[in-house]
Amino acid sequence: MSRLHDNRKKDPVFEPYKDLSELTSKTLDEHVEFYKTRKTKTDEELLEIYKKLSVQSEKFDKLDWIDTWHNRDISKHWHVFQNCCNEARFFIENYLRVVLEEMLIRKN
């Protein structure tokens, strides 16, 4: 069994995502949906989203995403893989920032 799958079993925050591409796609979808519904979210809902994204951001680099990479010839496409990792990390952290901003706006 791959290290990613082992890590995902230990960390439920990544269980819903089978690979890096799905994580990126769903994070982006959730972020767009958040923009549409952010005014109707309760403080508790914002806090739960914030906690989830914080854990994802903190643990993202600890997982071995190579195991799920769709292009098995990683040596020829290392830069593409790295760009995908950077993109996923950016989407998680940007979404996290937006949620935090919404929480701060409500407190002021």
Indicate the residue type of 65: W
Q: Provide the whole-model pTM.
A: 0.82
pLDDT above 50 (res 8): no
Least confident of 4-8, 39-43, 62-66: 4-8
Q: Which ranges constitute the DSSP H helices of 1-108? A: 3-10, 20-37, 43-59, 78-107
Helix or strand (DSSP H, E) at 21: helix 20-37
In whole angstroms, give the CA distance from residue 101 to residue 38.
11
- Encoded tokens for 40: 């109707």
Domains in the chain, number:
1
Question: What's the pLDDT score for residue 15?
Answer: 80
Cβ contact 38:103 at 8 Å: no
Question: What's the pLDDT score for residue 72?
Answer: 64
Domain that holds residue 23: 3-107
pLDDT above 70 (res 37): yes
